[in-house]
Amino acid sequence: MDNHLKMIPVSKIFSDVHYEVPIYQRNYAWESDQIEQLIEDIMSTEDDYFLGNLIVNQKDNNVYEVIDGQQRLTTLFLLERYLGITFANDALRFEARDKANRTLATLPNTNQLTDELQSSEIKKGYKIIDDYFEKTGLKAEKEKIIKRLEKVNLIRVQVPTKIDLNHYFEIMNTRGEQLELHEIAKANILSKITSPIDKKIASDIWEYCSNMDSYIQMNYPKDKRKMIFSNDWSSLSEQIVDFDSLSCCYQNEIVNEEIFTLEEILCGKGIPNSQSVSNENTENERFESIISFPNFLLQVNEAILRSNEDDDSSLDDKNFLINLKNNWADESSSKHFLFMMLKARVIFDKYVLKREFARDYKETGKWSLQRLEKYRDARTDKPKYIGTFGGDEDNKNRQIRTLQSALRITYTSPKTMHWISLVLSSYFNDENADIMKILESYAQSKVDTSGYETASGFGFERIVFTYLDYLIYRDGYSFNGHEVIRPLSSDWQFQFRSSIEHFYPQNPTELAPWENDDSNCFGNLALITVSGNSTFNNATPVGKASSNPGIIAQSLKLKIMAEMMRQNNNIWDQKLAHEHQDEMFKILRSD
């Protein structure tokens, strides 16, 4: 890592160093929520962990002025004092704030100071830490926590020496955020690229890939689009096989040959200005990516390194720089990652679903799985969007779109969306990959390992409900010779559902309650939206079905339950619930 970006274990952050907080920064202000969250973040994993970045200005040998991150740094000072870690009393000082400095210097024995001589904010922060360790039982495990701090890291970022610090701090304060981690990654990667042309290529890849809500082809300007992508724009051109092969598309470029350091790149220098993103097709703005650009970077990294096991830490933005750091080990690794990022964006846009806000879907959006292709209108090349696997309503396209949407609504946290890196890695390895078979196998393995056959009530994992609904959607379902669900019905799609609904309510107001084994059996449960669950409340099953058919339709499983009840004289009983459970388990086992 560059000298201006230094990764430091938290256990060593105050060793042989002095930090000064300038007067223009606010007083220490963290409350219990922020302090306890910081400690929980530190204790959240046994692996190496990235806690954030600390932006400083070096004033002297081992003396740093804190530009951004002082609240976290002060909290770490209090925590390490509480744990008994040894370092200089003046390792952290506040400019022109004697009370704060006096309090920090006397920790943990602040009682020797009168209230008028000490900082109430810092004293309060220390007490929050003490109270937290007391109530969680961690007080007896201080040595273990000290060892843990050796694997928790901060990145200290040195700003350029000639920067206007007051202006810099004002910008950071206005943005309300630290320097974005993906900007640090970008600076590191571009710092390894040597030639001006290659730096321009690298900058373009980064900038055009970062616009996630439009297809990558349309982010490139016309002249580059024609050379980088195939004749129909749907994939990379045959001659574009690695980073260096892109140089033929930049032969006429005139770029600045001045070489910039990493610190200058962090401030925006040394990165050639990319041409503005194409606006020739306003319809392109109707798409919305299901992940952000920083998470896309993590997905690309995981796809390159993909193993058979899902590891949530590999997609956790708290480990962002640690996960990506191998990609700027040298120029070769930086170029390789950049090219794989471009290749992954083409695959992602083509084979991973989006939300589409168009026509009647301008408010809520619908799931979209489309590839971009070129067509010629008069004398102008324009994009068109058609179903990736045939037409939009082609059975295969609709089926894969529905399968992906089942996974999307199940794994809502970015760090659990491993199915996306599975799609990317599958097409990295085989451009003719059978993604439907691959994703079905992936989902089925999640169901199988969930232990659904011995689960009860809220113990059923969401993937069991969503994948079951997908299987019912795929194959259809009949009950007593009556077709309840038609295979691949075009008028049904997944909604974001997270609430487990008891069809026969747990606490009925008009009926006798069921035994726990009956009420919480899988046959009495369905997954619906939170608002739908609230609307149903404790209504009777027949009341739910007759009054709220739209909520019933959210779950194909629930539609089957309602039809079974209808054929049973509108009575939903324990026998039907267990019969339904057996049938649903049979579907899950047979896939």
Convert the pLDDT of each residue in 367-402 to its tens digit.
999 999 988 887 788 889 999 998 767 899 999 999
Question: Please, what is the Cα angle at 515 between 512 and 517, to 5 degrees?
Answer: 145
Could you tell me the pLDDT band of residue 318, with boundaries at 50, 70 and 90?
A: confident
Q: Which residues of 198-216 are buried (b: 16+ CB within 10 A; e: fewer)?
A: bbbbbbbbbbbbbbbebbb
Give the closest residue to 222 by CA, choosing from 382, 98, 74, 14: 382
Q: Is the pLDDT of residue 243 over 90?
A: yes
Q: Is the pLDDT of residue 112 over 80?
A: no
Q: Is the pLDDT of residue 525 over 80?
A: yes
What average pLDDT does range 272-282 have in this prediction? 48
Amino acid at 435: I
Q: Quote the percentage of the chain above a pLDDT of 90.
A: 58
Q: How far apart are CA 539 and CA 503, in angstroms?
A: 9
Could you tell me the pLDDT band of residue 543, with boundaries at 50, 70 and 90?
A: very high
Mean pLDDT of all residues in the chain?
Answer: 87
Q: Does residue 198 contact residue 12 with C-beta atoms inside 8 Å?
A: no
Q: Is the dihedral of CA 216, 221, 222, 226 positive or negative?
A: negative
Q: Does residue 570 contact residue 450 with C-beta atoms inside 8 Å?
A: no
Q: How far apart are CA 171 and CA 580, in angstroms?
A: 60
Residues in the chain: 591
Cα Rg of the chain, angstroms: 29
Query: Which has more pLDDT, 419 or 157?
Result: 419
Query: Which has more pLDDT, 48 or 29?
Result: 29
Q: Is the pLDDT of residue 176 over 50?
A: no
Query: Which has more pLDDT, 267 or 150?
Result: 150
What average pLDDT does range 506-530 have in this prediction? 92
Residue 334 burial (C-beta neighbours within 10 Å; 0-12, 13-18, 19+)? buried
Q: How far apart are CA 345 and CA 351, in angstroms?
A: 10
DSSP string, 112-155: GS-GGGS-HHHHHHHHHHHHHHHHHTGGGGHHHHHHHGGGEEEE
Query: Which has more pLDDT, 147 or 2?
Result: 147
Task: Lowest mean pLDDT of 1-15, 154-168, 448-462, name the range.
Answer: 154-168
Q: Quote the percentage of the chain above a pLDDT of 70.
A: 88
Q: Give pLDDT, residue 80.
A: 95
User: Where are the extended beta strands (E) located within 313-379?
Assistant: 354-356, 366-368, 370-377
Q: Give pLDDT, residue 390.
A: 85
Query: Which has more pLDDT, 155 or 1?
Result: 155
DSSP letter at 176? T
Q: Is the pLDDT of residue 568 over 50?
A: yes
Q: Is the pLDDT of residue 278 over 50?
A: no
Q: Give pLDDT, residue 424.
A: 97
Could you tell me the pLDDT band of residue 360, with boundaries at 50, 70 and 90?
A: low
Q: Is the pLDDT of residue 152 over 70?
A: yes
Could you tell me the pLDDT band of residue 256, with boundaries at 50, 70 and 90?
A: low
Q: Does residue 563 contact residue 479 with C-beta atoms inside 8 Å?
A: yes
Tens digits of per-residue pLDDT, 404-426?
999 999 998 889 999 999 999 99
Q: Give pLDDT, residue 1.
A: 45
Q: Which two tokens stand for residue 478?
A: 């009949």
Q: Is the pLDDT of residue 155 over 90?
A: no
